[in-house]
Homo-oligomer: A and B are copies of this chain.
Amino acid sequence: MSDLHHLHLEIPKSDKKRIVIIGGGFAGIQLIKSLRKSPYQIVLLDRHNYHTFQPLLYQVATAGLEPDSIAGALRHLFEKHKDFYFRMARVTGIELAEKKISTLVGDLSYDMLVIANGSKTNYFGNQEMYERTFPMKQIPQALNLRSHMLQNFEQTVMSPDIEEQDRLTNFVVVGGGPTGVEVAGALGELKNHVLPKDYPDIDFDIMKLHLVDAGERLLAGMSEKAGTRALKYLEDFGVDVRLGTRLVDYDGNNVTLTDGTVIPAKTVIWAAGVTGNTIDGLPEAVVDKGRILVDQYNQVEGHPDVYAVGDIAAMCSEENPRGFPMVAPVAMQQAQNLGKNLKRQLKQKEPIPFKYRDKGSMATVGRNKAVVDMPRFHFGGLFAWMVWMFVHLMSIVGFRNRLVILSNWVWNYMTYDRGTRLIIRTFLRNKQYKPGDSL
């Protein structure tokens, strides 16, 4: 927002204690739901006015869904909540001693603070990668990737140079976690079923998909069976998967890998990892590798009224030295537990320590093909894909979104048609913004 000088972050005072929540992701919205009708004043701050259902972000990037299908306006979500305030503001600092946070539109005091501002793309300090590759964390980034990809195909049909055509149509995905696997699978579907109809003048044999991962297998956070299955599915799509391989260099035109291979590519998707989205003003002692150290109640050590939940929180223990995985179910369960404890606190009851119930994880690789890990068994194929569909449909925000997504999926399934291949957000590399910027 421009012209912020005249604004002022002021929330009406009430006799209730004020909980300020930073971030409207999975943790933030779950916490607000858990605290509904409890005698707290809730203030939610987020720099976007919407919640993003990140597990389906790759569908926005690959023109399968429109942004409104995977996002919910935060105000709308909580319009029935009493003594709830949303402010669209970026938090720039925390002053623990004074119990207040700072934003670009002023300061705000709190009685309790919940830091739930998630994670951001991890470039591991590599500025080149930040400037030249496409991340997949936010909707504007996914739309940048979509526009870039479609513009490249429009250029391909006008390119007289076969090498340039190759470069414009090649994709390199860095990272073999769920995001990398899912986006590679979606690109495989586009290549095999969608794009050849749109671009009859392109010989799609020149379009090559690569996925590189430094590890020994795909989906390291899931079972070995899931990793092996995902590998097979991707290879069926023609994706060249290179494990134990890293990207050494990318100049915007050519990718160089550790094994010496050089791949000409105008599009590199960076799904290599995430790191905590920290905020200035926290004592150094409580921040480790971008995450905030919390105890088993999600409380920040030494600060009884400050909590961190979700991706940003590192709840380390002896059996779990690196904290829980940075995934939505952990965020939601932590938020639920914290909500319960904040209500117990009002009744002077002891807080309950967090306990993670792993209900399983899943990833999809195009239609009919998914992998599902349940605590006791692992499976794949069409049934896994249907489970994946059902679980995602049920967990997405808003009844209307569910209907839109379901009808989209049914339509895509029957027709292989994706209706959203419009270049609306013209992507101008090196001109106005970087791929990772969120305009």
Contact = CB atoms under 8 A, between A and B. Distances in A.
A66, A76, A158 interface centre (most CB from chain B within 10 Å): A158
B398 A425 contact: no
Contacts of A9: 158
A438 B426 contact: yes
A430 B75 contact: no
A67 B422 contact: yes
Contacts of A105: 158
Contacts of A419: 68, 73, 76, 398, 400-401, 404
Interface residues of A, number: 65
A381 interface: no
Given A2-B429, A50-B422, A76-B198, 13 more contacts: A7-B155, A8-B158, A49-B423, A50-B423, A50-B424, A68-B422, A71-B424, A73-B421, A143-B424, A400-B419, A403-B411, A404-B404, A407-B407
Interface string A192-224: 000001111100000000000000000000000
Interface in A153-185: 154-155, 157-161, 164
A413 B242 CA distance: 52
A3 B161 CA distance: 14
Nearest to A106: B158
Contact of A164 (B6, B157, B198): B6
A424 B49 CA distance: 9
Contact of A198 (B73, B154, B160, B425): B73
A150 B49 contact: yes
A120 B411 CA distance: 35
Contacts of A351: none
B420 A49 contact: no
A1 interface: yes
A85 B198 CA distance: 11
Contact of A439 (B73, B161, B425, B429): B425
Interface string A403-439: 1100100010000010111111110111110000011
Interface of A: 1-3, 6-10, 48-50, 66-68, 71, 73, 75-76, 79, 85, 87-89, 105, 139-140, 143, 150-151, 154-155, 157-161, 164, 197-201, 398, 400-401, 403-404, 407, 411, 417, 419-426, 428-432, 438-439
Contact of A2 (B48, B401, B428): B428
Contacts of A430: 2
Given A419-B68, A421-B73, A432-B432, A160 B8 contact: yes
Given A48-B423, A49-B421, A159 B8 contact: yes
Contacts of A161: 6
Given A198-B75, A198-B79, A159 B6 contact: yes
Contacts of A157: 87
Contacts of A398: 419
A7 B140 CA distance: 28
A8 B159 CA distance: 6
A417 to B, nearest CB: 7
Nearest to A201: B85
A435 B141 CA distance: 22
26 contacts: A1-B151, A2-B428, A2-B431, A6-B161, A8-B158, A8-B159, A48-B422, A50-B422, A50-B424, A66-B66, A66-B68, A68-B419, A73-B419, A76-B197, A76-B198, A79-B197, A79-B198, A87-B154, A88-B154, A105-B158, A139-B422, A139-B424, A140-B425, A140-B426, A425-B439, A428-B439
